[in-house]
Amino acid sequence: MIFFIDSANLDEIKKAEDLGFIKGVTTNPSLIAKESVSGKNSILDHYQKICKLVSGEISAEVISTKFKDIVKEGHQLAEIDKKIVVKIPIVGDGLKAISYFSKKKIKTNCTLVFSATQALLAAKSGATYVSLFMGRIDDWNKQPCSSVEIISDIKTILQNYHYSTKILAASIRSHKHIIECAKIGTDVVTASFTLLNSLIKHPLTDSGLKKFIDDYKITKS
């Protein structure tokens, strides 16, 4: 299972790259806005800065929802760097655009996916990634089943028909989400820097390390 960082913050992205186990970046318009980046040129420039920081793929999201506009915006994003994956929301014209980019061999990430049926349509359209928003599903009390059940269904469906679309678990809230994803065989998990960094930590590691260092000091003296 591959880890991506879900952030548009340059410091966090640099720190994530330095850790070594985080292999790519996902962004969205809300994360971009959080960095006070606004205006088309500044946004494209920000993506360029991210591309310079990381060796892996960077998902950059379109704002357009109409086919022609998505195609135009997607091309502008894809032209920034080979590492860019064009992130497109699952609307009718979005699926059409995913299909278009798939034929052009431009990678896509189909986003705002909340059901196995939406994921199936993304795969049928040739999406490189399908982003299932786990936290938002579990926060939404109208959902008939959990995000873990949905991601497990998506895994089965994509395997049944040998789709190459990769499952990207997003909107991750906890270690439990990550463990469940790993058990299911999810291809990618994207999460905040804080959550990813917390995976390294355990109180018994801290106390064990302190004891080893203290004992070493005794043997030295």
Residues that bind ligand G3P (CB under 6 A): 6, 26, 28, 133, 135-136, 170-171, 190
Compute the least distance from the CB of residue 110 to ligand G3P, in Å. 12
Short-list 198, 197, 200, 201, CA closest to 12: 197
| Virtual torsion, Cα 139, 145, 148, 152, nearest 10 deg | -150
Reading the block at residue 202, the tokens are: 């355990």
Compute the least distance from the CB of residue 111 to ligand G3P, in Å. 7
> In the complex with ligand G3P, which residue's Cβ is closer, 37 or 217?
37
> In the complex with ligand G3P, which residue's Cβ is closer, 182 or 208?
182
DSSP E strand stretches across 142-216: 166-170, 188-191
Compute the least distance from the CB of residue 147 to ligand G3P, in Å. 11
Compute the least distance from the CB of residue 74 to ligand G3P, in Å. 17
> In the complex with ligand G3P, which residue's Cβ is closer, 118 or 171?
171
> In the complex with ligand G3P, which residue's Cβ is closer, 88 or 170?
170
Reading the block at residue 59, the tokens are: 């998902």
- CA–CA gap between residue 108 and residue 110 (Å, rounded): 6
Q: Would residue 87 show up in a list of annotated catalytic residues for this protein?
A: yes
CA dihedral sign, ordered 57, 77, 192, 135: negative
Selecting among 15, 52, 83, 87, the annotated active-site residue is: 87
CA dihedral sign, ordered 196, 15, 166, 98: positive
- CA–CA gap between residue 119 and residue 116 (Å, rounded): 5
Show which residues are catalytic. Answer: 87
